[in-house]
């Protein structure tokens, strides 16, 4: 499991688990450290994808199904043990949804909450009409990333390091650009769904996510652009919100 999941703080007595999925080109560290910050009631598992961190020598996944299959094969026993929620930002929102979709349809296992950030619903017009960018030259790809604020600020400050991240960024973008998902005729889930986004990011069709659940649906907007969640003030609000909802979901689960 350690190959696929990063857990800084194992909490066997936690009431719930939070499974976090990286943004395009991202690693697991940002979310794994949440395990040191959140209360002892929540255990954080951050997904590690091939082609980065300790899996740097492995080839990148080429499609969403590969991500879904690996994550579920490793995590399914844990997900049946106690309540769990999913959190994903941008590319991670799509992988969170794809994993939740498969868990429900194939294994009849459902999260107690799905937290989705910085992304339109996969079947929304906004997302479908988005031009493909993963085949651009590195130079043009970089210009586009910078123009939309889709680059972590710490990478922008170091262009040489940023070039090292481009293969992972492009590989993940290729996965999401080729991920197809039709809108379900009825809600897939009954759990609450919360969407987060930065007010200065390019507009996302967050409202379209409402169709995936018959449960509560909430949108929360924050000051900032695509990586608004890296702001310490925003992060604290998000983590407090997640903790509150996971601790109360334990009551519903029982």
Residues serving a catalytic function are 90, 226
DSSP letter string, 129-163 = TSPP-TTS-HHHHHHHHHHTT-S-HHHHT-HHHHH
Distances (CA, A) of 67 to 46, 208, 244: 14, 23, 29
Torsion on CA atoms 90, 28, 224, 42, rounded to nearest 10: 100
| Most distant CA atoms of the chain, gap in Å | 53
Beta strands 5-6 and 42-47: pairing type? antiparallel
Closest-CA residue to 68 (of 94, 37, 34)? 94
Contact 164, 154 (CB under 8 A): no
Beta bridge partners of 198: 222
Tokens matching residue 200: 């200065």
Tell me the backbone φ, ψ of residue 89, rounded to 5 degrees: -110, 130
Tokens matching residue 232: 């310490």
Contact 44, 75 (CB under 8 A): no
Closest-CA residue to 161 (of 142, 135, 133, 137)? 142
Tell me the backbone φ, ψ of residue 17, rounded to 5 degrees: -115, 145
């Amino acid at each position: 499991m350690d190959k696929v999941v990063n857990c800084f703080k194992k909490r066997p007595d936690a009431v719930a688990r939070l499974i976090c999925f990286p943004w395009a080109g991202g690693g697991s560290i940002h979310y794994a450290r949440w395990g040191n910050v959140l209360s002892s009631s929540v255990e954080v598992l951050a997904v590690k994808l091939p082609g980065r961190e300790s899996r740097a020598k492995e080839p990148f996944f080429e499609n969403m199904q590969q991500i879904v299959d690996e994550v579920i094969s490793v995590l399914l026993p844990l997900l049946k043990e106690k309540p769990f929620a999913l959190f994903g930002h941008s590319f991670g929102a799509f992988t969170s949804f794809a994993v939740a979709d498969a868990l429900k349809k194939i294994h009849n296992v459902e999260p107690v909450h799905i937290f989705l950030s910085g992304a339109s619903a996969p079947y929304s017009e906004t997302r479908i009409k988005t031009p493909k960018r993963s085949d651009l030259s590195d130079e043009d790809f970089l210009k586009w990333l910078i123009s939309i604020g889709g680059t972590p600020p710490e990478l922008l400050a170091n262009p040489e390091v940023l070039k090292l991240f481009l293969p992972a960024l492009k590989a993940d973008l290729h996965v999401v650009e080729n991920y197809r998902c039709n809108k379900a005729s009825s809600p897939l889930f009954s759990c609450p769904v919360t969407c987060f986004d930065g007010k200065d990011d390019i507009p996302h069709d967050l409202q379209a996510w409402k169709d995936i659940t018959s449960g509560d649906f909430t949108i929360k907007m924050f000051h900032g652009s695509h990586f608004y969640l890296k702001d310490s003030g925003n992060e604290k609000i998000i983590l407090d919100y997640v903790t509150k909802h996971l601790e109360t979901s334990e009551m519903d689960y029982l």
